[in-house]
Amino acid sequence: MPETAGKVPPNSIEAEQSILGSMMLSEGCALAAVEKLKEGDFYTSQHRRIYAAMYDLVALGKPVDLVTVVERMEVQKELSAEELTYLSDLTQRVPSVRNIDSYIDIVLQKSMLRKLISVCGEISDMCFAGEEDAREIVNRAGDLVYRASEDRSEDTLVHMRTALMEAHRRISDAYRSKSGMLGASTGFPLMDRTLSGLQEGQLIIIAGRPGMGKTSFALNIAENMGVRDKKIVVIFSLEMSRDQIGMRLLSSTAHTDSQKVRSGNLSEKEINDLADAMEPLSDSGLYVDDSSIIGVTEMQAKLRRLKRTTGKIDLVVIDYLQLMSTNSRTENRQQEISTLTRTLKIMAKDVGAPVILLSQLSRASEKRENKKPMLSDLRESGSIEQDADVVIFLHRDDYYSDDEAAKGRAQIIIAKQRNGPTRSIDVRWRGDLTRYAEVDYSHEEEEG
């Protein structure tokens, strides 16, 4: 590790003074600084204290000037004559308020360098300790460097005022959208209404026995968001190759029998329909990764790189949990699943997108007279239910019955929702098209 003793950490006192002075001279400068800077970005404790007072004033909608800043700071501690003089001199230290963005960039650069120095120390300590697998250290080092660059480490503890401002903004967005939803639409109206859409940071489990169409349902949601709404949707498929995913999406979008697509036994019209489906899928916001050995850390790294390019990720789909593993040593598979669900929940918050995680169910439901799944059927770990914000089961009546009336009948069962109701929603399963669709069976029967 390089010698750092006696070295002054990177900083620019002049840029910090210029920012604080500009904030007292211009409302626009105050807003620009609050949008990009955090208290910890300032090098001196004095500047951090001054900026904290200014930040509070902006959050409260109050003007930022010498009088209001002094009043705000003296709520905690009376200022000395030297401190009052220093505050009043700040406006004289501003070369030009028009350069506020440049001052902010300088302070952010210095702040990031200080964080990287700290992170390098942590990484060095881990390497010398040698208590973890080298690959795990590399993964953790990547996380530490990313968090330093994204500056997420210092803003987790906030005053309730900040949380309320964020909540009010989301409610206002939902009101303006007229949809009544806080999150993104899945294309399944009753499910959207129940869940209020898929929301940022949620871990959503979609579970079912093999053959229930979990992958198809997730792809239906991905297609609705990525093709119809042009949202950025990332699909991690640990089971199917990308060409298989593409084939499913093509047949689904073109409403063409998937078996015919796989066999190539197609009419000229069906060939044309598939060709027509290429354009909307090609112009969509869909991305696919078919690595069969990808871990959570690798997923995070890929999502972060994509987010830098697209600016936002709206949905992540992972197919499926039981094919995933961790690089760390665990006592048993149940503990490993617990680690996976916990880190995937963290990833959802980190990326700022809902994460749909597909999961297998145990055979317990098939041993019961009532085959409908329950939360206790979640395979291998109770942590799946604990970490999930939403748990959805897929159940098909025709899977267990030869009755003609049961054909195509299925249910989306919202078994858990951390902040809302649970319910079952009737849907129609079209196996030939690998599609689920909401229906009103009672209305169908009346018409029949």
* Residues recognised as catalytic: 239
Contact assessment for residue 286 and residue 227, using Cβ atoms and an 8 Å cutoff: yes
Residue tagged 């399963």 (tokens):
429
Q: Which helix (H) or strand (E) holds 357?
A: strand 355-360
Alpha carbon 109 to its chain centroid, in Å, reads: 26
Helix (H, G, I), strand (E, B) or coil at 429: strand
The residue count for the chain: 448
Residue tagged 């009336």 (tokens):
405
Q: Which helix (H) or strand (E) holds 445?
A: helix 441-447
Quote the CA–CA distance of 314 and 354 in Å, as a whole number: 7
Q: Which helix (H) or strand (E) holds 57?
A: helix 45-59
Handedness of CA 93, 96, 98, 104 (dihedral sign): negative
Quote the CA–CA distance of 215 and 114 in Å, as a whole number: 45
For residue 278, the tally of other CB atoms under 10 A from its CB is 13
How far is the first Cα of the chain from the last one, in angstroms, to the nearest whole number? 78
Per-residue b/e over 340-367, b at no fewer than 16 CB within 10 Å? bbebbbbbbebbebbbbbbbbbeeebee
Side chain identity at residue 37, one-letter code = L
Quote the CA–CA distance of 268 and 184 in Å, as a whole number: 37
Phi then psi for residue 7, to 5 deg, are: -85, 140
